[in-house]
């Protein structure tokens, strides 16, 4: 396995307690984002696309496709610990943009708005996973052996 590929699957060399913490972070962040946000959007695509925000002046349809790639595919990868570092980066970007654009700019949310807090927590968790890796209890760890 080449160095670059091996680095992608690097689980960070964490001990058992840290790996359990990273497993919980992956399951909560990836799992909740998938179940609470990605799956409902995927199942009701035709209705949601009509009113979907478009922060980058693409079309609402293209913006929704990008969000679904993050909230479905990348969130599942993070939850499983598969390509965790790679999958966590677009999720951190997506949730960060959601916090800034949708909550602060569009909805004029204050720092105490629950939606803003949730998006900031997601962003922090995905940044943690991007830097720390998935831990030993992950598909990445099995691949890296």
pLDDT tens-digit readout, 112-121: 677 888 899 9
pLDDT at residue number 8: 62
Q: Under a CB-based contact definition with an 8 Å cutoff, are residues 42 and 75 in contact?
A: no
Distance of alpha carbon 88 from alpha carbon 99, whole angstroms: 16
Q: How many CB atoms lie within 10 A of CB 120?
A: 17
Residue ranges per structural domain of the chain? 3-144
Q: Under a CB-based contact definition with an 8 Å cutoff, are residues 19 and 135 in contact?
A: yes
pLDDT < 70 positions in the chain: 1, 3-13, 103, 106-112
Distance of alpha carbon 45 from alpha carbon 50, whole angstroms: 9
pLDDT at residue number 133: 93
Cβ neighbors of 130 (< 8 A, separation 6 or more) are 85, 88, 89, 92
């Amino acid at each position: 396995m080449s160095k670059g590929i091996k680095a992608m699957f690097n689980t960070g060399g964490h001990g058992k307690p840290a790996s359990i913490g990273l497993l919980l972070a992956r399951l909560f962040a990836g799992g909740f984002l998938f179940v609470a946000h990605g799956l409902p959007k995927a199942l009701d695509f035709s209705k949601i696309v009509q009113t979907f925000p478009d922060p980058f002046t693409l079309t609402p349809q293209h913006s929704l496709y990008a969000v679904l790639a993050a909230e479905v595919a990348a969130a599942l990868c993070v939850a499983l610990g598969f390509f965790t570092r790679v999958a966590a980066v677009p999720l951190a970007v997506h949730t960060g943009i959601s916090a800034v654009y949708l909550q602060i700019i569009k909805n004029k949310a204050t720092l105490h708005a629950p939606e803003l807090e949730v998006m900031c927590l997601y962003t922090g968790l995905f940044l943690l996973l991007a830097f720390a890796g998935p831990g030993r209890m992950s598909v990445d760890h099995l691949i890296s052996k």
